[in-house]
Chains A and B, each alone.
Chain A
Amino acid sequence: MVTSCAEKTYAGTTIADVVSRATVSRTTFYKLFNDKRDCFDAAADLCVDRIAATVAAAAAGHESPAEATRRGAAAMLELLAGEPELALVLSGDAVGVDPGLVERYSDFTVPALEGLWERDGMPPPKHLSPGLACGRAQLLIFHQVTAGHPERLPSLLPDIVYLAIAPFAGHDEALRQARAAGAEVAT
């Protein structure tokens, strides 16, 4: 489903495409999914899970929330640069199929980031709206991927780091971290 949508878009993908790529029978398909949309939703969820697992693995073990955010963001961009079909399905096609998906990403990303900054059960202060920052980050990634330049995704690291940190630690700290990330990208 993911490779077919990346190649032919959701509208252009048929169940025949999906079963032939997956080398499963049509009967099996309908045992697992109600229809094309049902299969697409499951595929989009899988993509989100893969990204989440990659980010969590990269962020684990870093004491400072800013450091963890930076590592997580870098790992996410590298994953998407290496497998642009993930980003293409999630940011381009999926949004056309289901506009509510943008909000679902935020619902998932924001609590994860928030958790990093939580100290002793105290919720972090919010300098900017994290949901909005998440939307902006999606737009940035979306643009590179749909413009056919997934290999440039890692260069977005300073912007993504800024957006991920500014809501919780403020503009000045986020700018400092973005500059640190920029220096890492340059080397």
Chain B
Amino acid sequence: MTDAAALPRGRHGLSREAVTRSQRERLLDAAARVTAARGFEATTVADILAEAGVGRETFYQLFEDRRACILAAHQELLDDLVGHVRIAYEGPGEWADRCRATLRVLLEWFAADPPLGRFLLVEAAAVGPEFHAIFQAGFDRFVAVIDAGLDDDLPDPQPLPATSLAVGAAISRVYGEVAAGRTEHLPALLPQLTYETLVPFLGEAAAREAAYAGVGRAGKLSPRG
């Protein structure tokens, strides 16, 4: 079905750009999914092309090689996650409530599409040493987002980098569940993870209150190793 009036006329740059964009998106999505399923080492450009339904020539116009494509896919996913986290954290409400809302978004993001989460946290690590810098930069972005919205009247946690501990707690927990393939249970971890991340800022009693606000009985709180 063609609607001539809605399409740019002739060999318009805009339409080529739009096509390229969608091909790039398909390739990035395919790179993430194939890598999640097969591991970095076993993933070939041919696999990515087959999954994306895009030609080899187009691939090499967009990416230097397999590694570049996989790293771009990683960057894209990370940007998406950071964006979601930022929106949740900058939302309305008390600071502790915003923290809980942020963690909810984080857990739901990973639960919504398990292969993409697995790619982002687990499989991409096999890319090699340059991944460490990428991981660290991603980590620092989360710390910066959280730091930017801290409440002035939080207790002074010196000498602890409380934000880094909180972000680290969230990432460690999500990593553990994703690596073990238990992604679908992530949203159920919200109260406990809220508690874990708030303790370095607030201490146990206040963190427990904030974490379990409006969630059943507080008696269920018994962290497990």
The chain A residues found within 8 Å of chain B, CB to CB, are 9, 11, 92, 95-97, 99-100, 102-103, 106, 110, 114, 126-133, 135-136, 138-140, 142-143, 146-147, 158-159, 162-163, 166-167, 170-172, 175, 178-179, 182
CA distance A136 to B160 in the complex (A): 13
Q: A92-B129, A135-B168, A136-B169 are in contact. List 11 more A-B contacts (CB 8 A).
A: A102-B172, A103-B180, A128-B199, A131-B224, A139-B172, A143-B136, A147-B132, A159-B165, A167-B223, A171-B203, A178-B160
Q: Which residues of chain B (152-172) have a CB below 8 Å from chain A? A: 157-161, 164-165, 168-169, 171-172
Q: Are B136 and A147 in contact (CB under 8 A)?
A: yes
Is B41 an interface position by the 8 A CB rule?
A: yes
Chain B interface secondary structure, helix, strand, loop or mixed? helix
- Give the residues in chain A near B224, CB-CB below 8 Å: 126, 129, 131
A126 to B221, CA, bound (A): 10
CB <8 Å contact, A92 and B223:
no
Chain B interface residues (CB < 8 Å from chain A) = 41, 122, 125-126, 128-129, 131-133, 136, 139, 157-161, 164-165, 168-169, 171-173, 175-176, 179-180, 192, 195-196, 199-200, 203-204, 222-225
Dominant secondary structure of chain A at its interface with chain B: helix
List chain A residues, Cβ under 8 A from B175: 102, 135
Q: Which residues of B contact A175 (CB under 8 A)?
A: 157, 160
| Bound-complex Cα distance A87 to B22 (A) | 42
